[in-house]
Amino acid sequence: MTVLTTAAVSRRSRHGRVFLGMLAWLAGIVFFLPVAWMFLTSLHSEADAAANPPTVAASLGLDGYRAFFGSGGGTSPWPALINSTTVAVTSTTWVLLLALPAAYALSVRPVRGWRDTLFFFLSTKMLPVVAGLLPVYLFARNTGLLDNVWLMAVLHTSMNLPIAVWMTQSFLADVPVSILEAARVDGARLPVILARILVPVIAPGITATALICCILSWNELLLAQVLTSVTAQTAPVFLTGFITGEGLFLAQLCAASVVVSLPVLAAGLAAQDKLVQGLSLGAVK
């Protein structure tokens, strides 16, 4: 009798498992559908893209991408893409140069009040962008720094620095002290300890930090919208040109969204495992 019940229960739970697995697949497909549709539409002709009802099996081509890259005489997106790359790479480099020593001082050889300092960094992240937007704009206007990629790089550095300090601090805190102590006892000097022991251990964490900072810089719109116009325009600002789209432009819009999102997708999937840790400021592992 007991055996029977167990078998019944296990059969029921097996049905349940299959059902829940299918439910998970269904949810995945529902969430992914808009992205898949965007990709498919980017390969359609403009006429097929605007068809109602939609034409799933329409012929595929790269016309949308050609139109996006400016063959139709529109503005070329290359300057914006190059600006975004410059700002993302430069600001991330500066972020790491500033964050790594700070994180070292906050975890490996913690200074007094390290926790207060850490939380101070975090609190600046919670300060809304609009809190300082106007003074920054006036400063840039009066010093001739409006529409300048380097100003954007400085601002994105300050935007990402708190996250980077928190992330690198949490990675450094995971390094066992005993390794460092042992190396010190063996007579290794500080630069050697840093280069040979610390850096290899935290390298994956630093890579993830860099990728997340690049993503956040690449995505940023409000600062770029206010502070850049033509020469320093970033990719999200370029995309805002599609907000009031008239006529046939869906395939081009989808091609643009795919191209601009591709670096973020690649970086995000590469940093997948550390994504939560970074975005929850190291509070969740």
Partner 1 sequence: MTAPATASAAARTGNPPRGAARRRRKRGPGAWAVRAPLLPALVFVIAVTQLPFVATLVLSLFDWNAFHPGGRRFIGLDNYAAVLGDTAVREAVVTTMVLTASVVATALVLGLALALLLNRRFPGRALVRTMLITPFLLVPVAAALLWKHLLLNPEYGLLNGALTWAARLVGDGIAPQPDWISAAPLIAVGTALVWQWTPFMMLIVLAGLRSRPPDSVEAARMDGASEAQVFRYLTLPHLRPYLELGALLGSVHIVQNFDAVFTITSGSLGTANLPYTVYQIFYQAHEYGQASAAGVLVVLGSLVIAAVALRVVSSLLRGEASRG
User: Where is 274: in which H helix or E strand?
Assistant: helix 272-279
- Closest CB to partner 1 among 133 and 197? 133
User: Under a CB-based contact definition with an 8 Å cutoff, are residues 277 and 164 in contact?
Assistant: no
What's the min distance (Å) between Cβ of 149 and partner 1? 16
User: Under a CB-based contact definition with an 8 Å cutoff, are residues 122 and 279 in contact?
Assistant: no
- Closest CB to partner 1 among 4 and 243? 243
What's the min distance (Å) between Cβ of 196 and partner 1? 19
User: Under a CB-based contact definition with an 8 Å cutoff, are residues 102 and 164 in contact?
Assistant: no
Strand intervals (E) in 61-116:
none
Which 3 state secondary structure label does DSSP give 168?
helix
Burial 49-64 (b: 16+ CB within 10 A, else e): bbeeeebeebeeeebb
How far, in Å, CA of 285 to CA of 272, rounded?
12
What's the min distance (Å) between Cβ of 146 and partner 1? 13
What's the min distance (Å) between Cβ of 119 and partner 1? 4
Q: Angle CA(35)–CA(262)–CA(168) in degrees, nearest 5? A: 115
What's the min distance (Å) between Cβ of 243 and partner 1? 6
What's the min distance (Å) between Cβ of 263 and partner 1? 9
| Sequential DSSP letters for 215-265 | HHHHH--HHHHHH-SSTT--HHHHHGGGTT--SS-HHHHHHHHHHHHHHHH
How far, in Å, CA of 142 to CA of 145, rounded?
8
- Closest CB to partner 1 among 54 and 61? 54
User: Under a CB-based contact definition with an 8 Å cutoff, are residues 157 and 91 in contact?
Assistant: yes
277, 278, 282, 283: CA torsion to nearest 10: -60
What's the min distance (Å) between Cβ of 71 and partner 1? 21
What's the min distance (Å) between Cβ of 257 and partner 1? 4
